[in-house]
Amino acid sequence: MNIEPIARQRPSRNRSFGVVRKLLSVNWLFVLCICLLFGVGYAALYSAGGGSVSPYANSQLVRFLGMLALMFAIAMVDIRVIAKASWPAYVLGLLLLLFVMKFGHTGLGAKRWITVGGVEIQPSELMKLFLTMALAAYFCRANYERVGQWLFLVVPAIVVLVPVGLILKEPNLGTAVITALIGSTVMLGAGVRWWKFAIIIVVIAVAAPLLYHHLHAYQQARIITFLNPGSDPLGAGYNIIQSKIALGSGGWTGQGYLHGTQNQLNFLPEKQTDFVFTIIAEEFGFLGSFAVLCLLFSIIGIALYESITCAHAYGRLVALGIATNFFLYCFVNLSMVMGLIPVGGVPLPLISYGGSALTAVMLGFGVLMSIHVHRDVEFSAGEF
Amino acid sequence: MRRDNKERVAFSRRALLIGTAQLGIFGAIAGKLYNLQVSQHGKYAMLAEQNSISERLVAPLRGLITDRFGVTLAGNQQHWRALFMQALTPQPEIVLENFYRLVPLSDDEKARIATELAHRPKYIPVLLKDYLEWADMAAIEVNTPDLPGVIVEAGASRDYPYGPGLAHAVGYVARPNEREAQAQTIFALPGMRIGRTGVEAAQDDALRGSPGFVQTETNVHGEIVRQVAEDMGIPGQTVALGIDAGLQALAVQRLGTDAGAAVVLDATTGEILAMASNPSFDPAVFDKGVPAELWNSFLADPKDPLQNKVIAGLFAPGSTFKPTVALAAMKCGALTADTILTCTGSFTLGDHVFWCDNHVAHGSISVDAALQVSCDVFFYQVALRVGIDRMAEMAHTMGLATDLGVDLPDAEPGFLPTLEWAKAKGIYWAEGSTVVQGIGQGYTQLTPLALATMMARLATGVAVGPHIARRIGGTLQDASAAGNWPTLEVDPAHLAVIRKALFDVVNTPQGTAYASRLTLPNVQMAGKTGTAQVHNNTAAEKQKGFNDLTMAWEDRPNALFVGFAPYDNPRYAVAVVIEHGNFGAQSAAPVARDLITYALINDPAGRDTPLNGPVAAAPSAT
């Protein structure tokens, strides 16, 4: 029996493990990446505020610090406790979705968020995490043979489709698609065959024209605009044109911090939220925006590394879901800013101004940290 | 265990595949980014430069200043102005030359335009000319092709319906100077104004608003093809003052051509209901830029039209200071309601003789009678008993010579001497100085606002602070809400004694202000007259009497009156100062009586426009 140095000891069979030692075993590289990304966001929001810490930068900093503390708190919770909470969390998420449809605040014609103790919460954002956890809890005990059975997949299919349906009803097309994609990715990680997804994609492709007629007018308009941005230069397409001009005028090194003409000119109505990347790209150029891309991907990379190195299936699947969630945030937002996909109201995580996405992402990171700290624990047979 | 490992390997393979796919997509994003930012940089940089949809910021509409009933005291009036967006033309110099040929401008203005063109960000247009004449507009319109980038638009200028009557209270606005324009972008916008005095300055933040924008589409020649979008920004908030425009108009009318000041307060909240200062000026001239000769004439005028004498005029209070002296004496036990002192018409201290007014011997009198007939000898003696420091202390409690925190710029606290001050200044403090302090002469310098505040505090027993803003953006200010001021730290019994004495001043035939008693049924005013020497009159001069009209105007004493009403349930406090108006009873008290009469009949205190309803007209005087 070889004795490891104390610092390298990790929680395993013993449920309780000193908080100090747990804190030491947090993945500090990951924390550093988070803080660096937020720093970039702070600088961009400072610029969006016209070279001022108000109204955006400092209030976002307060939110971030609060969420950072929450992240560490969650990291200290044993992953088995979190795993046990998966299904209750999922049910809570569904209730919140129902609640928001009845009583939530309305933004841009859609009921999307509620405010709890001054923190904006968008149940659809939380649902992405809770769905991941529920699917992981479902699949982590199953072997590949069972995953291969069609019947076994009925429950997870319902588990994914119910929240997706509710989010579509809000209506929030972008988040609904993202939620479905996260669910699919977790199922893929759990061993569901590729071709089963191929079948679903074909079904969707056929159903899309039918679905289109059931979309809201603004959603139809977004898709039309996407297909032909010139058709409505002063409506939604205006944003894309201005956003592309902002990106394009950045060049290699940018126009200089606080000197981006497009941003300082207020050409973009929601530059501090969804279009925050244009500020970085215009003022710091391609070098700056590429550096941010690298930082964003480092988060995804570390999350995937956590998923591969985790000893238990629950942690592997949840980490995969969290990595995918973060990836989809970045992908949708960046593509939107570059005019590759329709404008979807998806913020750039850790950088955009706003509370609900930050809350959801940081909660997920808390769970990811817990997975890291407790990557060697074993789930006993009757645990849940 | 082996199966578990097998599954783990399978998972790792899938996770890696997913990760690789995600990395690939990130790579594609980076590639597209490179394409946009680097490969197509030239195209987009040019688009950014000549963004065919150009945007310019527009100044927000300045908030209104109204009286308590919603009557506009400072509004906005439309005029036309010519702006220049240099970004819309490659050759701004030529355009400017063309413009100057059509609309001649002074060299100063041309220099200003050149400076602004050099310093302004390109989304902020530069003002070419305000207040365009019809002929100018026609000339610009006809020559549009020669004037790419020149925009004619409607702008707002500040309009003051009450003109000089409210110039001091409301204040005026002016164009921000170049330093302000460069410090804060919003001030660089053409048409933007900044409050320089009065409420315009004090509430500038609330009145300012946030800028809007106009998006226009331009062709390659820089001509505007069409307006694309417009956002008028957020107009400034409406600031409703405590002022009652009707009462204010009466105050202005009653001051007439006399130099002086009049102020009426809501005695329970300290709200300023009327505030007139004479002579005055037309506040509208500052909006267009005041001509140098006019400005110099303001500065040269000995009657100082630019000063708000209510808050910044410093006057010896004269006998209006006596109630405070009496309160100080009662507090330290030197005086009670029954204390009898003797007036022989003069008072000798050492080798100096201090005279009573007109050398009248009042005989044996109490504090009530001494205030009623304004006996000086009584208060010479009381002042000696109290001492200078305790008088100053009571005066501060009553709101005199202390920072009242009024929400107007350039307010003067006034001044009262203390032994400490005399020591610091190296002044030998003779007892004689304390004696004259007892009748409000000597070093004492107070503002009419402080005197009115003193009256309000005396009347209500509440330490009210004067203020002018009542509602900002509809929100009632804390200071204007009833019951928000602390109780005055003076024995209520003492206050009652003084109030009764001041009642006798106005309502008994012996009282100095009997001629100015109210003629309303069942309601009385209480008050105190004051006649204050403006310089050290010689004994001979004093013997001659102040009502000698052979005395030069600037040598005549100031006339003062302070009062409150109704006596039994005080709601209004008033202070009137007529500069060199001789007797307070003669010139100041009738003005105060008329103001109080108007206030009692119309009763503006506590009332204002219903918040959600239409603007109600001010109640008409009956």
- The pLDDT value recorded for residue A108 is 43
Considering only CA atoms, which of A47, A87, A94 is closest in space to residue A275?
A47
State what percent of residues in chain B have pLDDT above 90. 50
Superfamily of domain covering B245-299+307-602: DD-peptidase/beta-lactamase superfamily (3.40.710.10)
The mean pLDDT value of chain A amounts to 81
Is residue A128 situated within a structural domain?
Answer: yes
Nearest by CB to A189, which of B14, B37, B43?
B14
In a domain, A9, yes or no: no
> Which percentage of chain B shows pLDDT scores above 70?
91
What one-character DSSP code corresponds to residue A75? Answer: H
pLDDT surpassing 80 at residue A88: yes
The pLDDT of residue B289: 81
Q: Which helix (H) or strand (E) covers residue B587, if one does?
A: none
pLDDT at B223 over 70: no
Instruction: Answer yes or no: is the ipTM higher than 0.90.
Output: no
Q: Mean of the pLDDT values across residues B129-143?
A: 85
Taking Cα atoms as reference points, which of B591, B573, B572, B571 lies closest to residue B581? B591
- Highest mean pLDDT, choosing among A379-383, B52-56, B590-594: B590-594
pLDDT tens, position by position, B106-116 = 888 899 899 88
Per-residue model confidence (pLDDT) at position B529: 93
In 3D space, the residue among B536, B537, B603, B532 whose CA is nearest the CA of residue B562 turns out to be: B532
Residue with tokens 């209500």: B460
pLDDT value of residue B225: 60
Residue A8 placed within a domain: no
Q: Are B249 and B162 in contact (CB under 8 A)?
A: yes
- The answer to whether B157 and B129 have CB atoms below 8 angstroms apart is no
The pLDDT of residue A315 is above 90: yes
Is the pLDDT at B606 greater than 80? The verdict is: no
Task: Give the residue with greater pLDDT, A191 vs B536.
Answer: A191
Within-domain flag for A12: no
The residue whose two tokens read 């009210």 is B464
B263 secondary structure, DSSP code: E
Q: Which pLDDT does position B171 carry in this prediction?
A: 94
Q: Are the C-beta atoms of residues B87 and B262 closer than 8 Å to each other?
A: no
Q: What is the pLDDT of residue A135?
A: 94
CB atoms within 10 A of CB B413: 19
Give pLDDT, residue B442: 87
Query: Is B29 an 8 Å CB contact of chain A?
Result: yes
Choose the closest CB to A244 out of B10, B36, B55.
Answer: B36
pLDDT for B220 beyond 90: no
> Which 8-state DSSP code applies to residue B86?
G
* Cβ contact B44–A281 (<8 Å): no
Give the residue-averaged pLDDT of A55-81.
92
- How far apart, in whole angstroms, are the C-alpha atoms of residue B561 and residue B528? 6
- A345 or B410: which carries more pLDDT confidence? B410
* Radius of gyration, alpha carbons of chain B: 33
- Does any CB of chain A come closer than 8 Å to the CB of residue B13? no
Confidence of residue B479 (pLDDT cuts 50, 70, 90): confident
pTM of the predicted model, to two decimals? 0.59
Mean pLDDT for B69-93 is 85
Please give the pLDDT value at position B621: 36
Residue B228 at interface with chain A, using a CB cutoff of 8 Å: yes
- Please report which confidence band the pLDDT of residue A6 belongs to, taking 50, 70 and 90 as the band edges: very low
Distance CA B245, CA B255 (A): 15
Distance CA B372, CA A4 (A): 100
Would the pLDDT of A225 be above 80? Answer: no
The reported pLDDT for the residue numbered B247 is 95
pLDDT > 60? residue B202? yes
Please calculate the CA angle B111-B112-B118 and round it to the nearest 5 degrees: 90
Sorted by sequence, the CB contacts under 8 Å of residue B168 that are 6+ apart come out as B197, B198, B275, B276, B277, B280, B307, B308, B309, B310
Higher-confidence position of A57 and A170: A57
CB of B118 within 8 Å of any CB in chain A? no
A328-337, B368-377, B531-540: the lowest-pLDDT one: B531-540
The better pLDDT of the pair A369, B9 is held by: A369
The H or E element that residue B429 is part of is none
Residue B622 has pLDDT above 50, yes or no: no
| b/e code A252-264 from CB counts within 10 Å (16+ = b) | eebbebeebbbbb
Q: Does B9 touch chain A (CB under 8 A)?
A: no
Nearest C-alpha neighbor of B451 from the set B611, B294, B584, B602: B584
Instruction: Tell me the pLDDT tens digit for each residue of A318-366.
Output: 999 999 999 999 998 999 888 887 656 788 999 998 888 899 999 999 9
Q: How far is B151 from chain A (nearest CA, A)?
A: 19
The residue written with tokens 């019994």 in the block is: B493
Residue of B42, B217, B196, B190 whose CA lies nearest to B129: B190
Residue A36, pLDDT > 60, answer yes
pLDDT band at residue B584 using 50, 70 and 90 as cut-offs = confident
Listed residue (B489, B268, B317) closest to B398, CA to CA? B489
- CA-based angle A61:A65:A68, to the nearest 5? 135
Please give the Cα distance from A74 to A22 (Å, whole number).
Answer: 11
Domain B54-241 CATH class label: alpha beta
Min Cα–Cα distance to chain B from A299, Å: 12
**Does pLDDT of B473 surpass 60?**
yes
Contact A333, A38 (CB under 8 A): no
B447: which residues sit within 8 A by CB, 6+ positions away? B309, B310, B311, B312, B313, B314, B315, B411, B412, B413, B414
CA-based torsion, B390, B392, B397, B403: positive or negative: negative
Domains of chain A: total = 1
The pLDDT confidence band at residue A231, using thresholds 50, 70 and 90, is very low
How many Å lie between the alpha carbon of A252 and the closest alpha carbon of chain B?
Answer: 6
Distance CA B355, CA B214 (A): 74
Mean pLDDT to the nearest integer, B374-399? 93
Q: Which residues of A touch B44 (CB under 8 A)?
A: 244-245, 247-249
Per the domain annotation, does A316 fall within a domain?
Answer: yes
Contacts of A248 (CB under 8 A, 6+ apart): B36, B37, B40, B41, B43, B44, B45, B47, B48
Residues of A in contact with B32 (CB under 8 A): 338, 340
CB pair distance less than 8 Å for A320 and B22: no
pLDDT (tens digit, 9 = 90+) per residue, B411-424?
A: 999 999 999 999 99
| Minimum-distance CB partner of B11 among A244, A316, A324 | A316
Contacts of A324 in chain B (CB under 8 A): 18, 22
- Given CB atoms, is B38 within the 8 Å cutoff of chain A? yes
- Yes or no: say if A166 and A100 are a contact pair by the CB < 8 Å rule: no
Kindly state the tokens that stand for A39: 């720093």
Please give the pLDDT value at position A232: 43
- What per-residue confidence (pLDDT) applies to A246? 83
Asked if residue A20 lies in contact with residue A251, where contact means CB atoms within 8 angstroms, the answer is: no
pLDDT above 50 (res B83): yes
DSSP string, A83-101: HHTHHHHHHHHHHHHHHHH
Residues in chain B: 622
**More confident site: A279 or B613:** A279
Residues of B with CB below 8 A from A247's CB? 33, 36-37, 44
Nearest CB neighbour to B228, from listed A234, A248, A313: A234
Domain assignment of residue A114, given as a range: 17-373
- Per-residue pLDDT for B254 more than 90? yes
- Domain regions of chain B by residue span: 54-241, 245-299+307-602
pLDDT (tens digit, 9 = 90+) per residue, A245-296? Answer: 888 888 888 888 887 766 665 556 567 888 889 889 989 999 999 999 999 9
Among A7-21, A81-95, A333-347, B404-418, the range scoring the smallest mean pLDDT is A7-21
Q: Which residue has the higher pLDDT, B269 or A266?
A: B269
The answer to whether A163 touches A127, Cβ cutoff 8 Å, is yes
